[in-house]
Chains A and B, each alone.
Chain A
């Protein structure tokens, strides 16, 4: 233990740690890929990346050694669906950046500029081993909420791992309400939006550097890499008169049609899920990920056949609305058993702040394996659902979510089994950089540890 503390102190002192080679040795290592944990494993990180991880992995000479005996080592946890960094206080606390109730734009909205790493929510979740998060906007006046990002929770001011990674759309009850009061309306709005984007894609041509429109008889379909470069489509780019979206919003949907950006679709009921599978057949280029899917178990074989990944709420078991009548804690286990790729997300579940609950939920899915008639998941799969599965669902499995060579070095050293809420994160690395685990919560804890009156008021204790 003392040796471990010394090692930790050394690491903190020797910034920037990313350049160092660090070997975490002797711990119970779980790779995050669905496999079961490895006793006495080693994780080697260097240059912000994982070099290697597993049993009998060589420790490079000169590596800083972290003694993990009696500890567990896992990839950093990935919040599969969140609004992290968009709100410091949710209710009556000033601006929230997750939705623009009175703004004119929808699909063009991009959360990236708003993510604030100085929010205490980032530090609190980082201290509990959450290292990355998918951050989605909320819908306001349109079924399209806008574009979400993958972020890291590092203690620096550069949180964005991948901006505009996905577009988020609501097509269930919430989508129906936003669309004016019904699901059919939401579906028409959805198809109309894609029509408008398609039209823009067909007619628009980039503006030449001179400001003149290039006369290009072939009119190549423009490839939009950054959906927000729609400003590049000149004022004379033709659109029909029959439009509902702003040009900016329509342009933001072009990458969806091109299969260059993911579409995260929130639905809960079995019927709504099937409607999304229909959309996938209608627009094969759409790269769809289901979000929510409380009744997914009822159509699990069809989701699996469509090869659409799911970011699901872990423990929804209440018929809290008529789109969740068949809610059960066995939902994820049954979908997984049917071959669906499932990650856990905090969908509308304290999604601005309590992402640390994912590991509790994952543990609870393991607990279900003891209940006759229920379907849970294995320990290794449960861990994967809060590490690699969300990354894989959004096409970033090669970068984050597992302890495999070449991946970003997001690594957490735990006091014990990370799916036990009694365990805590003792060391957290993001991109190979060891992170502080303090927050204003730990500072308040220390200030009020002793309530005896002292020579100066509490305000002087820090």
Chain B
């Protein structure tokens, strides 16, 4: 192609009879810009080789082992089973009466972006200045000193989470997946290699925020028109940049908003779509098909139970609350069996929080859904329900090959619970992230205290 083009150009030059001494300029080679300018600097903390014996294990993928054992070392799970070989020198924990699970993963958090204290100076979750703001990245708002991270760890057994922009905008910006490990910088918390997410929103919030200012969108039809127009623009941008990166030449102008959308169209960035109503989910599925991308997860999907078949057929996860309802019109049809009904349909069900308090008891939220589901005829086991808390969220975030279940070779993100974690009386006893013991109920030194809390009343309290 290039050779032909050059030959033709030379021929034209010869015919014109005057430019033979002035060869045409060669196209500059394409320059690929850095896709990861705020790279993770997270490094796992040291951990002692550890075996927990005689314990009930929910492996996160639906499996249960009673009286089992798990060994982890060098940050990774080494073995899980009824009987495992233990290397000399490993720390041994008797897990009698206790339960081991993968760490909980919350796919929908605003920790760091709407941190505690929730003063106006900390309101960093919604760039509500235009309905399409895919250029903003949640990680640039994350305050690593948010005390909420420590509560999610110590009370909730949360080992990883996605921090998302809010839902004021149709395109809210990029989300970021974090290890729940305290750090001085957000880069120090970033889950290495996790794909980016794009937060999108349907329904009431965008039209309320912009409609109240007499701007578009003011209606649901305005929402969809704005979304489609934005994708059309992104497709053109992608064509231009794909050609440049293939063929070189003049570098097109960078547009950070379009970079994110191009990443979605290229399948590199996962769409997390806030969408309550079933009918709106169906519309968004068609929007995605038209634009050429795939929706990863519908968040706050309170009506997923009405279209669980459609969601299963399209391979879309639903991130849900157990029992939130009615706080807005689009949440009016919430039912307590939403999570189990989605699960029963063979679709991917996830328990999420969207809340700095709820993230501390996601296991209990799953317990509610589990019990309501059983009463409605969905015979799900405890171990199977744990998929809603770790493996399915890991799939939603594109990190299931590295965490989310207790499999040899995966990250040792592990929680030891003092009893069945679906009991309201259960507490995390120990929490390991990449094999490092970062919380121990019995050791007051093993509780993170954020800079904000240092020297304040109640500092270092068990909280």
A interface residues, Cβ below 8 angstroms from B: 88-93, 120-121, 124, 270, 295, 298, 315, 317-322, 324-330, 350, 352-354, 356, 360, 363-364, 366-368, 370-374, 419-424, 441-442, 444-445, 448-449, 451
B313-338 to A contact mask, C-beta < 8 Å, 1/0: 00000000001111111001111110
- A374→B457 contact, CB < 8 A: no
22 intermolecular pairs with C-beta atoms under 8 Å apart: A90-B326, A90-B328, A91-B329, A315-B360, A322-B119, A325-B456, A326-B457, A326-B458, A327-B463, A329-B462, A363-B424, A364-B424, A366-B424, A367-B424, A370-B418, A370-B441, A371-B441, A424-B372, A441-B334, A441-B335, A448-B341, A449-B376
Q: How far is the CA of A368 from the CA of B324 in the complex (A)?
A: 25
- A318→B151 contact, CB < 8 A: yes
Interface centre among A89, A295, A324, A448 (most CB of B within 10 A): A448
Q: Which of B208, B327, B361 contacts A89 (CB 8 A)?
A: B327
Q: Give the distance to chain A from B122, nearest Cβ to Cβ, in Å.
A: 10
Q: Which of A91, A325, A441 contacts B458 (CB 8 A)?
A: A325
B contact residues around A356 at 8 Å (CB): 323
Contact A373:B462 (CB < 8 A) given known A89-B332, A298-B457, A318-B151: yes
A contact residues around B372 at 8 Å (CB): 424
Q: With an 8 A cutoff between CB atoms, is B165 at the interface?
A: no
- B458→A318 contact, CB < 8 A: no
Q: Which of A320, A352, A353, A442 contacts B117 (CB 8 A)?
A: A320
- A370→B425 contact, CB < 8 A: yes
A contact residues around B376 at 8 Å (CB): 445, 449
Known: A270-B457, A318-B116, A327-B463. 8 other contacts (CB 8 A): A89-B326, A90-B326, A92-B208, A120-B326, A318-B148, A328-B458, A329-B462, A444-B335
Q: How far is the CA of A423 from the CA of B376 in the complex (A)?
A: 14
Q: Give the distance to chain A from B333, nearest Cβ to Cβ, in Å.
A: 6
* B341 to chain A: closest residue by CB: A448
* A375 to chain B: closest residue by CB: B462
- A367→B427 contact, CB < 8 A: yes
A contact residues around B357 at 8 Å (CB): 315, 318
B145-177 to A contact mask, C-beta < 8 Å, 1/0: 001100100010000000000000000000000
Stretch from B54-62, B180-188, B231-239, B362-370 forming part of the interface with A: B362-370
Q: How far is the CA of A298 from the CA of B459 in the complex (A)?
A: 13
Q: With an 8 A cutoff between CB atoms, is B45 at the interface?
A: no
Chain A interface helix/strand/loop/mixed: loop
Q: Which of B147, B305, B368, B458 contacts A421 (CB 8 A)?
A: B368
B contact residues around A89 at 8 Å (CB): 326-329, 332
B422-463 to A contact mask, C-beta < 8 Å, 1/0: 111111000000000000011010000000110011100111
- A92→B328 contact, CB < 8 A: yes
Q: Give the distance to chain A from B413, nearest Cβ to Cβ, in Å.
A: 22
- B118→A321 contact, CB < 8 A: yes
Q: Which of B337, B356, B441 contacts A445 (CB 8 A)?
A: B337
Q: With an 8 A cutoff between CB atoms, is B375 at the interface?
A: yes
- A451→B462 contact, CB < 8 A: no
- B364→A360 contact, CB < 8 A: yes
- A354→B323 contact, CB < 8 A: yes
Q: Which of B334, B418, B424 contacts A420 (CB 8 A)?
A: B424
- A367→B333 contact, CB < 8 A: no
* B376 to chain A: closest residue by CB: A445
- B461→A328 contact, CB < 8 A: yes
B contact residues around A91 at 8 Å (CB): 204, 327-329
Q: How far is the CA of A258 from the CA of B323 in the complex (A)?
A: 43
- A367→B119 contact, CB < 8 A: no
Q: Give the distance to chain B from A335, nearest Cβ to Cβ, in Å.
A: 14
- A421→B328 contact, CB < 8 A: no
Q: Give the distance to chain A from B96, nearest Cβ to Cβ, in Å.
A: 15
Q: Which of B327, B333, B360, B368 contacts A444 (CB 8 A)?
A: B333
- B422→A353 contact, CB < 8 A: no
- A328→B463 contact, CB < 8 A: yes
B contact residues around A88 at 8 Å (CB): 326
Q: With an 8 A cutoff between CB atoms, is B383 at the interface?
A: no
Interface centre among B151, B326, B357 (most CB of A within 10 A): B326
- B371→A422 contact, CB < 8 A: yes
Contact A327:B458 (CB < 8 A) given known A353-B325, A445-B337: yes
B contact residues around A364 at 8 Å (CB): 361, 364, 424
Q: Which of B119, B367, B418, B463 contacts A329 (CB 8 A)?
A: B463
A contact residues around B377 at 8 Å (CB): 449
Q: How far is the CA of A55 from the CA of B370 in the complex (A)?
A: 33
Contact A421:B424 (CB < 8 A) given known A370-B418, A451-B308: yes
Contact A448:B117 (CB < 8 A) given known A319-B453, A325-B456, A363-B424: no
Q: Give the distance to chain B from A320, nearest Cβ to Cβ, in Å.
A: 5
Q: Which of A120, A367, A449 contacts B425 (CB 8 A)?
A: A367
Q: Give the distance to chain A from B254, nearest Cβ to Cβ, in Å.
A: 38
